[in-house]
Structure 1
Amino acid sequence: MALVAEFDIPCEQLPLVSVAAAVPAATVVLTLQFNHGNRPQFLITVTDGSQPAVETALSEAVDVAAYTLIGEAGDTLRYKAEPALSLAEQLGAQIDDLSELEALATEDAIIDRIEVTDNGWTQTGWFANREAFTEFRTFWQQNTGFRLSRLTHEGEPESPGNGLTDRQTEALRTAYELGYFDIPRGASLEDVATELDISASSVSERLRRAQTQLIEETVAPMWPPLPN
């Protein structure tokens, strides 16, 4: 039976890590198009990020040769980018045998989602069997590191989603645990920002977007229409 895994690969040499670090308030999701030789094209989705800040980060990234804004919908920006580095140039100093990395692409596995963080990638993947998962995990453990967050069998029930990004959830939880929502308030916005190591304005934006999303998913659908 297939396995579904969520895991972190801590490696600052992975593509677009510098971009995620430059826009800490944003969620950066990457799709790789491996049909472009040894420089797979980047398809980038950015949520909750300032467009000028995102594009400055893309322009300054050493692993991005050029980028194009493909579309914009609400708080989401979609880009296509050409890599500036080959796999050897990007990861050669970190990974001993790049042929092993290329072989992973032919394994019985599909990576559903790559979220780029300021120190690596957070991924969700499907693996045909435990052997395929073990080979994938072993490779990254031997080269950069591997932290497993969740491992389930295909078809096992999961808790329903709420539409929040991981960073919005983190901001809400941290603010709650510090007492930001208490009456009287037990922590300031600056306290939450210090705990998350981001600016107070970024915390404020994450909390507002998270609260709006929760209202839209839970309370708003039950409201009667406003009178004309």
Structure 2
Amino acid sequence: MGLVAEFQIDCDALPLVSVAAAVPEASITLSLQYNHGRRPVFLATVTGGSEQAIERAFTDAYDVQEWTRIGTAGDTRRYQAMPALSFEEQLGGQVDDLDGLEALATADAIIEQITVTTDGWEQMGWFADRAAFTEFASFWQQNARFRLERLTQDTEPKPPGNGLTDRQLEALRTAYEMGHFEIPRRASLDAVAQELDISASSLSERLRRAQTQLIEETVATLWPPLPE
């Protein structure tokens, strides 16, 4: 029976982490397009953050050779970025087993969602069985910091907000219970952050990522946008 896993890989050498670090208020989801030679092209969907800050971060990113904005829908922009580095140049300083990394591409798994964070990647994937997941998790446990957020059978129904991490759920619940979302607000961002014992900037990023995930699950803008 298959498994669905949600996990965090903390590795600042992963693609586009420098972009997320430069504009932490933005939410960046990433997919990899493997039909452009040995190194996949980066396809990034960015929500939030200023257009100028995001595009400056792409220009400054050490792992991006060139980028193109493909389109815009409201506060969401899509980019295609050509990698500037080989796998060895990108990850060789932190990942010893590069052959093992490439082997993961042929594992019995599908990585359905990648969210780029300031520390690494948050991912959700489907694994054919426990052995396939163990192979994947063991590799990253040996080469980076791997944190499993949720592991379920693929036949189990998904609760609303299934794509949220435990930290995002905690941030949303605490902010809601303290009245941060009420009009007028009963609790400031600083007050909620103090309750969670994190910085206001970290809380702002966590809430934005959680809200973006919920929007994508429910009322996300269709892509491409419908004609008016």
State the TM-score bracket (shorter-chain normalisation). Answer: 0.7 to 0.9
Summarize the Cα distance change of 1:164–1:8 in structure 2 as closer, same or farther, 3 Å threshold.
Answer: closer
Query: Of residues 192, 198, 203 in structure 1, which corresponds to 2:201?
Result: 198
Summarize the Cα distance change of 1:35–1:179 in structure 2 as closer, same or farther, 3 Å threshold.
Answer: same
Bigger CA radius of gyration: 1
Deviation of 1:198 after TM superposition, in Å, equals: 1.6
TM-score when scaled to structure 1? 0.79
Matched with 2:34 is 34
How far apart are the structure 2 equivalents of 1:146 and 1:31?
20
Deviation of 1:50 after TM superposition, in Å, equals: 1.6
Deviation of 1:26 after TM superposition, in Å, equals: 1.2
Deviation of 1:175 after TM superposition, in Å, equals: 3.1
Matched with 1:22 is 22
8 Å contact from structure 1 (residues 167, 206) kept in 2? no
**Gap runs ≥5 in structure 2:** 220-228
8 Å contact from structure 2 (residues 45, 78) kept in 1? yes
Matched with 1:110 is 110
Query: Which residue identity lines up with residue 152 of structure 1 in the other structure?
Result: T
| Residues 68-107 of structure 1: pairs in structure 2 closer than 5 A | 68-107=68-107
Matched with 1:138 is 138
Matched with 1:45 is 45
Query: Which residue identity lines up with residue 67 of structure 2 in the other structure?
Result: Y
How far apart are the structure 1 equivalents of 2:173 and 2:44?
27
How far apart are the structure 2 equivalents of 1:40 and 1:182?
44
Q: SS of the counterpart of 1:135?
A: helix
Summarize the Cα distance change of 1:29–1:185 in structure 2 as closer, same or farther, 3 Å threshold.
Answer: closer
RMSD of the alignment, in Å? Answer: 3.3
Summarize the Cα distance change of 1:25–1:124 in structure 2 as closer, same or farther, 3 Å threshold.
Answer: same
Q: SS of the counterpart of 1:37?
A: coil
How far apart are the structure 2 equivalents of 1:183 and 1:75?
23
Deviation of 1:196 after TM superposition, in Å, equals: 4.0
Matched with 2:225 is none
8 Å contact from structure 2 (residues 9, 140) kept in 1? yes
Summarize the Cα distance change of 1:166–1:141 in structure 2 as closer, same or farther, 3 Å threshold.
Answer: closer
Deviation of 1:24 after TM superposition, in Å, equals: 1.2
Matched with 2:56 is 56
Query: Which residue identity lines up with residue 22 of structure 2 in the other structure?
Result: A
Deviations 1:42-75 (A, max 9, x none): 0000112221111111111111111101011112
| Residues 124-203 of structure 1: pairs in structure 2 closer than 5 A | 124-161=124-161, 172-176=172-176, 180=180, 187-192=187-192, 195-198=198-201
**Gap runs ≥5 in structure 1:** 218-228
Q: SS of the counterpart of 2:15?
A: coil
User: How many residues of Structure 1 are paired with residues of Structure 2 in the alignment?
Assistant: 211
8 Å contact from structure 1 (residues 27, 165) kept in 2? no
TM-score when scaled to structure 2? 0.79
